[in-house]
Every structure is written in C-alpha cells, then in structure tokens.
C-alpha cells in the first residue's frame, strides 16, 4: 500500500512503537524511514497530538494500528492527514465472529466488576476485547512481571502483549521520548477473555488476581 501510494526513499512514515515490528519493517521495505509517535494511554493506539508533533517536511504517511479490539481516534487522525496532506493507512486486527465478540464482552464485563488491584481497560465504544489488557502498576511493590508469574502459578494463563517497544529494538533504535509507550510496555498484561472460558474459569482468574491485590498499590 505504501509503495502503491508512491511512498519511498527519502520519505518518513509515522508509526506506533507499541506493537509488532512488522509495521516498521514494512515502512523500511518501501524504502522510507519509520518515525515513532506516542500512543493514547486508553486506546493504546496512536495519539493524534503526538502524531502531529512528529510530522516533518519529509512526512508522507501515517500508519494507524488498532489495538486489542479498540479503534484509534480515526476522526482526528484523518482530519490531521487531510490538513497536512498525508496518506493515512489503517492496520486492523482479525475480528472474531459477532457471537464470539458478544461473549467476550460478557466476560470483560464480569472482570470489570470483580477485579481489584489492577487497572481494568476502558470500556470504550465498539471495544471487541480481542485482548483484555489490564495495567499492573509497580509503585515500588511487585511489578507486572512478578504479578504475571504469580498469576500463572495459580493456574491462569496470561501474557505480556508488547514485551519490547519497536523503538527499543536494535534495528529500529531511536532516541525519542515516548512516555506512554514506555509505561504501557512496562505495565500491561493480557488476561484470558475468549469465548470458551466457563464461569469457573472466570472465577479462577478473578481469584488469582485478587489474591495479589493487597500486594499492590491501589490502581486509580
């Protein structure tokens, strides 16, 4: 898509660092330079203000990546693209069937109501919960990784959704300030929310997490 639009050598493309490396690799394969912008801490997608701050005379495009079942602020990003004369491309996620999305939302609602000691995701418009991503703030006490190990020891599968932001990888290392990206990479944890989970499974997830809640600072 970048090549078809004429993006190539000498161009810059604004992309998120919070996510998979494939987007930055695609920009590089087109001959352009990936430029990393920070994310919105609620949606984990590119923040329009951060994108605007990253634009230079060489910027040709922006690649917007939707994350975890939440959409980016497309209205602001497309308006920015129109105002600056930039191509705005989207990369979505593979969506589950509608009936499975409804079940995921039910399980997410249960976790919203029951979890303590972690910051639950914002239940924004259209959230399909491809992943149920909570925040585990360290605050000098057990951090996200310790929390994840303890939850797994209680029989609950969980995963770190983004282990290393792209701007920290050797091939794309940049000296750039991305505080929300850094914070999200250090604090986020994906808990199970798929449609196959039973009520007992959900209770086990809550029990495992809440057993550790007293070890954490309250998440406001």
Average pLDDT estimate for 130-147:
82
Q: Which two tokens stand for residue 76?
A: 């602001």
pTM for this model (two decimals): 0.91
pLDDT at 185: 94
What are the distances in angstroms from CA 42 to CA 6, 47, 191, 208? 33, 10, 17, 25
Percent of the chain with pLDDT over 70: 94
Residues 127 and 68: their CA atoms lie apart, in Å, by: 8
Residues 25 and 66: their CA atoms lie apart, in Å, by: 17
pLDDT at 140: 53
Exposure string (b/e) for 93-127, b if CB count within 10 Å is 16 or more? eeebeeeebebbbebbebbeeebebbbbbeeeeeb
96 in helix, strand or coil? coil
Average pLDDT estimate for 165-192:
94
């Amino acid at each position: 898509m970048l090549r078809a639009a004429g993006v190539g050598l000498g161009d810059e493309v604004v992309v998120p660092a919070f996510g998979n490396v494939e987007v930055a690799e695609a920009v590089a394969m087109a001959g352009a330079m990936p430029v990393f912008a920070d994310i919105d801490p609620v949606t984990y997608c590119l923040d329009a203000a951060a994108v605007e701050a990253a634009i230079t005379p060489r910027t040709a495009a922006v690649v917007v990546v939707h994350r975890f079942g939440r959409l980016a602020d497309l209205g602001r990003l497309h308006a920015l693209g129109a105002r600056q004369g930039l191509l705005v491309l989207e990369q979505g996620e593979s969506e589950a069937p509608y009936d499975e999305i409804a079940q995921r939302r039910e399980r997410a609602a249960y976790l919203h109501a029951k979890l303590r000691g972690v910051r639950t995701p914002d239940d924004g418009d259209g959230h399909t919960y491809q992943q149920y991503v909570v925040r585990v703030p360290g605050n000098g006490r057990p951090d996200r990784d310790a929390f994840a190990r303890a939850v797994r020891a209680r029989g609950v599968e969980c995963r770190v959704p983004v282990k290393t932001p792209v701007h920290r990888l050797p091939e794309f290392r940049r000296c750039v300030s991305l505080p929300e990206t850094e914070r999200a990479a250090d604090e986020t944890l994906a808990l199970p929310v798929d449609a196959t989970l039973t009520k007992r499974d959900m209770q086990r997830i809550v029990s495992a997490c809440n057993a550790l809640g007293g070890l954490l600072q309250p998440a406001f």
